[in-house]
Structure 1
Amino acid sequence: MRFLTEDTRHFIRTDKGVHALLSSAHVDLERHTGGGYDPECLTVGFNRYFEKAKVGLRVQKCQLVPDTFHSRHSAKCRTYLYRLAVRKQNAPTLQKMGFKYLAEIPFSEWRRCYFIQNPEFNVDAMKQAAALFPGIKDFRSFMGASRDDRDIRTVRSMKELCIKPGQQFLSDDYMPSCKHYDFWEVTCKGQSFLYRQVRRTVAALIAVAQGRLTVEDVQYMLDVPSKDSWNPKAVTVPPYGLFLVNVEYDPQDLLYEIN
């Protein structure tokens, strides 16, 4: 019997350095005595084990699915979120011995958000560049180098790339240093992504917002898909700002028929 499990890793990484708020996996289970498993009992049993083993993982739901279902290959859409915090123009900086230090980073956001200390940040230009990405395109320029990338199909369908104001995890009452930053969320949706594609996409958007790249520079990277087309002025953003927030499936692929 094959089961789909939906789980939450509370700030626990999927790939190295990346967080997952909602992920999924499938598992084949068979009783040696015959008979099936109750999905709700499995959910409780898994979570009891994870709690006892002190694993930062919680299963939200188990569901019986057909043997043809695959948690990775059957996914129709994945949603990633990248969190940014841009220092405000009037944010205080620390100065000591002639050196100008950066604004304080709230501990509640440490390694859960990418902090940008340069307050020169044009969000309108960033949104203009983001509008170039949705659609079926060859994103080879935005793929990070990997060992097994020779035969990878680099044409992908990006359904959505949007930028909107974000928010901090804790209020200013508990983390007053958060008020020195403007928080932004970059949401990227698609069926599948290339290695580091989302992080390099965000990097290009940030470079445009900071004036290091133009919208035309980003258009060139899309028009001429090649590892040589990547503009080094866009520095790949760190993994800790990235969250996998949802994986969607066709309901028909999840239907299990009892014989």
Structure 2
Amino acid sequence: MQPKSTRYLIFFQYLGSKYSGVMKAPAHQAVEGVQNHLENAVKRLKPLNEVSLSISSRTDTGVHALCNSAHLDLVRKADKPPFTEKVLTEALNFFLKPEPIRITKAYRVPNDFHARYLATSRTYVYRMATRISHHSEMPITEKDLCWALQNMELDINAMKEASSLLTGTHDFSTFRALSSDAPFKNPVKTMELVQIQPGLSFSQRHFHRDIQYWELSFKSRSFLYRQVRRMTGALVAVGQGKLSVRHIQELLDARDSLAYPQNLAAPSRGLFLTNVEYKDSDLVPSTQD
């Protein structure tokens, strides 16, 4: 009997501080990507096929994820049944123990399922902290997990007004960082959500009570390269009085990546991918799989 291939969708989270990003790094590169560790864990399951993960959502160096996703195929010996979702999750987490990477759940999906192209939305949250006079005042629990805005308050009302300009369908060319694939990607995106709210912190509740946390949330089916960090940087600049609300509209209207002010993009450490969504119907394997 010919061994059959089984496709799985896995959801996983990671702290991105020590990785080159989520995507696989080449062998000669000193710092590895999250995908390197995920694929090494899958290889320890001893599948018959070559291991290759298809990641749904790319994140850069220093960016974190509470929920990213990928699909993979596994072929076992003909006398062994496919892994159950629970066993696959537990086994991968066992092999990932040394790393700040965790599988949160797994689904057996149709053999034509694609983690990237079938995602209906992605949500990012950017975390910031204000009322800090020196970077050493940042709690140890927030190290590399938050952007500390020193010696300043933010005009939250102005930021909310500016964020409303980014909501909806626009050409976001100005908010796209230049990359090798930039000319081939459609710059028109629909922002379902651009929202700023007070944030939460364990340390704030118990010790660092003077620090104020804020969270910027962005939801869309897809994003351009570094779009979230550039939108965040522009909104924070409005909150600081460095840009006006009108400037945000002018940046949108420019439709030119070079029109974006230099050194304005938010650093990677405060950015989290928090959700990747799919239609329930796409997650159900067919009886032929």
1:170 is matched with which residue: 187, 195, 203?
203
**Aligned residue in 2 for 1:79:** 123
**Aligned residue in 1 for 2:219:** 189
Superposed, which structure 2 residues align to 1:114-125 within 5 Å? 114-125=147-158
Superposed, which structure 2 residues align to 1:1-259 within 5 Å? 1-10=6-15, 14=22, 15-33=60-78, 35-51=81-97, 54-87=98-131, 93=133, 104-173=137-206, 176=207, 178-232=208-262, 235-259=264-288
Structure with larger RCO (C-alpha < 8 A, sep 6+): 1
Amino acid at match of 1:80: Y
Larger strand proportion of the pair:
1
Which range is displaced more, 128-137 or 7-16? 7-16
Identity, in percent, stands at: 37
Secondary structure at 1:187 match in 2: strand
For 1:146 and 1:23, locate their aligned partners in 2 and report how far apart those are by CA, in whole Å: 22
Contact 1:138 1:156 in 2 (8 A): yes
Report the count of equivalent residues.
242
Q: Gapped runs of 5+ residues in structure 2?
A: 1-5, 23-59
Amino acid at match of 1:210: Q
Shift of 1:150: 2.1
Structure 1 vs Structure 2 CA RMSD: 1.9
Amino acid at match of 1:17: G
For 1:102 and 1:24, locate their aligned partners in 2 and report how far apart those are by CA, in whole Å: 33
Contact 2:176 2:257 in 1 (8 A): yes
TM, length-normalised to structure 1: 0.87
Contact 1:164 1:186 in 2 (8 A): yes
Larger helix proportion of the pair:
2
For 1:36 and 1:106, locate their aligned partners in 2 and report how far apart those are by CA, in whole Å: 45
For 1:31 and 1:116, locate their aligned partners in 2 and report how far apart those are by CA, in whole Å: 51
For 2:178 and 2:16, locate their aligned partners in 1 and report how far apart those are by CA, in whole Å: 26
Q: Deviations over 1:16-65 (max 9, x none)?
A: 110011111111011132543222211121112222xx122221211111
Secondary structure at 2:96 match in 1: helix
Contact 1:86 1:183 in 2 (8 A): yes
Q: Deviations over 1:174-233 (max 9, x none)?
A: xx3x3232110101001111111000000010110111101111001112211232234x
For 2:104 and 2:237, locate their aligned partners in 1 and report how far apart those are by CA, in whole Å: 38
TM, length-normalised to structure 2: 0.78
Amino acid at match of 1:251: D
Which range is displaced more, 60-69 or 183-192? 60-69
Q: Gapped runs of 5+ residues in structure 1?
A: 94-100
